[in-house]
Amino acid sequence: MPAEIYNFFKLSTAFDLKPEQAIKYFQQKGIKTSFSWMDMIGEEHDTAFTVAKMMDTDLLSYVDKQVDKMLETGDTLADFKKALIPRLQKAGWWGKQDVVDPLSSQKPGKITKAQLGSASRLENIFRTNLQSAYAVGQWQSIQANSQAAPFLMYDAVEDHRTRPEH
């Protein structure tokens, strides 16, 4: 019986497919305002999209839609920034500003200096949401194939920082 011949050119076209599981995961999330990244703990991030100190639900919803669009269309970080920066600046959510901390342990309603929008924050929002959505999609794929491939392999970097347990 002849060995099966794979057409690798045909297989390579699969790299253009949308990450359906990642998109579905992100789209099922709601939105939740939060003042601090610590306001949402554990699995809350699995069910709701948030940006720390973005208390305006319309603005938060707009950012959520831009992340969703980025996943759907494969937009770049530059596209993400181009879509968001003018809107955030117009809304006054840009740069360092005095803001009221509603949950300050020292004194509720305390005014604090906070970094709102910036290029680095947008990059963090972009990368965090992209990576978490892809990770969920990848894990769902691993679980779906667990009967055929029941083991996972951990591959350490094998540099001077790799612990002996790895």
DSSP string for residues in 137-160: HHHHHHHHTTTT----------ST
The pLDDT score that the predictor gives to residue 91 is 95
Residue ranges of domains in the chain = 17-143
Confidence category of residue 11, pLDDT binned at 50, 70, 90: very low
Residue 99, phi then psi, degrees to nearest 5: -135, 155
pTM equals 0.74
Mean pLDDT of 162-166: 75
Pairing relationship of beta strands 96-101 and 110-115 according to DSSP bridges: antiparallel
Percent of the chain with pLDDT over 90: 35
Mean pLDDT of the chain: 83
Asked if 58 and 13 touch (Cβ cutoff 8 Å), the reply is no
Q: How confident is the model at residue 150 (pLDDT cuts 50, 70, 90)?
A: confident
The pLDDT value recorded for residue 53 is 92
pLDDT in tens, 84-140: 999 999 999 999 999 888 776 566 677 888 999 999 999 999 998 888 888 888 888
Are the beta carbons of 118 and 94 closer than 8 angstroms? yes
| Diameter of the chain measured on Cα atoms | 78
Length, in residues, of the chain:
166
What number is the average pLDDT over the span 42-54? 87
Q: Strand pairing partners for 112? A: 99
Residue 111 has a pLDDT of 85
Q: Is pLDDT at 165 greater than 80 in this prediction?
A: no
Name which of 133, 134, 137 is nearest 26 in CA terms.
133
The answer for residues whose C-beta is within 8 angstroms of residue 132's C-beta and 6 or more apart is 45
Phi and psi at residue 144, in whole multiples of 5°?
-65, -25
Cα of first residue to Cα of last residue in the chain, in angstroms, is 42
Residue 82: pLDDT band with limits 50, 70, 90: very high
